Amino acid sequence: MANRRKSLARKIRLIRAVRSNRRVPAWVMQRTSRRVSRHPKRRTWKRGHLHR
């Protein structure tokens, strides 16, 4: 979909989804002595789709 046809609200939602899809920071793993090593809400582009 072309970028100019997206509404501002949709762009903000997509940017938020991209930002929340990062890995757990290294300092968090270090502070919890690797008990927290993976992100429970992590999403892949191929499987997990965003709701409209």
Q: For 1-52, write each residue's pLDDT tens digit.
A: 577 888 999 999 999 999 999 999 999 999 999 999 999 989 999 998 888 6
State how far the Cα of 29 lies from the Cα of 14, in Å rounded to an integer.
27
Number of separate domains in the chain: 1
Domain membership of residue 48 (yes or no) is no
pLDDT at 23: 93
State how far the Cα of 30 lies from the Cα of 18, in Å rounded to an integer.
24
pLDDT at 33: 94
Domain membership of residue 47 (yes or no) is no
Domain membership of residue 50 (yes or no) is no
State how far the Cα of 29 lies from the Cα of 17, in Å rounded to an integer.
22
Instruction: Say what the pTM is.
Output: 0.68
pLDDT at 4: 83
Which residues fall within 8 angstroms of residue 43, CB to CB, at 6 or more apart?
17, 21, 50
Domain membership of residue 16 (yes or no) is yes
Domain membership of residue 13 (yes or no) is yes
Domain around 13: 1-41
pLDDT at 1: 57
Helix (H, G, I), strand (E, B) or coil at 18: helix
